[in-house]
């Protein structure tokens, strides 16, 4: 998995798997925690979760999540 935590931005940049095209993903852990607070993650405990992901509410949550995810700069 390439989604990792590092002790600082400098440590991430020094990692041998670092790719500068994804530099926009370098964010404080609290910011990633906020992104992973989207309903897409919060609703995983419901008994109709797969159905929910295909509902309007699920689609809206996904769209909101996609809007916050960093993209590569090519």
Partner 1 sequence: MAELELLDRGYTAVMRRVTDTGQAQHYTELASELGIELTAARELIHELVSITPGWTHPGTDHLASFPPFNIQPTQYRVTIDGEQRWFAQCGFEALAIRWLVPGKHVRIDAPCLCCGEPITVEMDDGDITAVEPEQTVGYTSCEIGGDAASRPFR
Question: What are the residues binding partner 1 (CB under 8 A)?
Answer: 1-9, 11-12, 14-15, 17-19, 22, 25-33, 35-37, 40-45, 47-51, 53-54, 58, 62, 65, 69-72
The vertex-63 CA angle with 58 and 64, nearest 5°, equals: 100
User: Tokens 């609703």 correspond to what residue?
Assistant: 43
Judged by CB, which is closer to partner 1: 8, or 56?
A: 8
> Is the Cβ of residue 30 or residue 56 nearer to partner 1 in the bound state?
30
How many Å separate Cα 27 from the centre of its chain? 11
Q: Tokens for 58?
A: 């699920």
Query: Between 7 and 56, whose beta carbon lies closer to partner 1?
Result: 7
């Amino acid at each position: 998995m390439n989604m990792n935590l590092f002790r600082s931005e400098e440590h991430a940049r020094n990692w041998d798997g670092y790719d500068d095209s994804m530099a926009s993903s370098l964010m404080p852990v609290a910011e990633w925690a906020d992104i992973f607070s989207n309903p897409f993650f919060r609703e995983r405990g419901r008994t109709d979760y797969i159905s929910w992901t295909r509902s309007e509410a699920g689609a809206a949550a996904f769209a909101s999540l996609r809007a916050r995810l960093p993209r590569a700069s090519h």
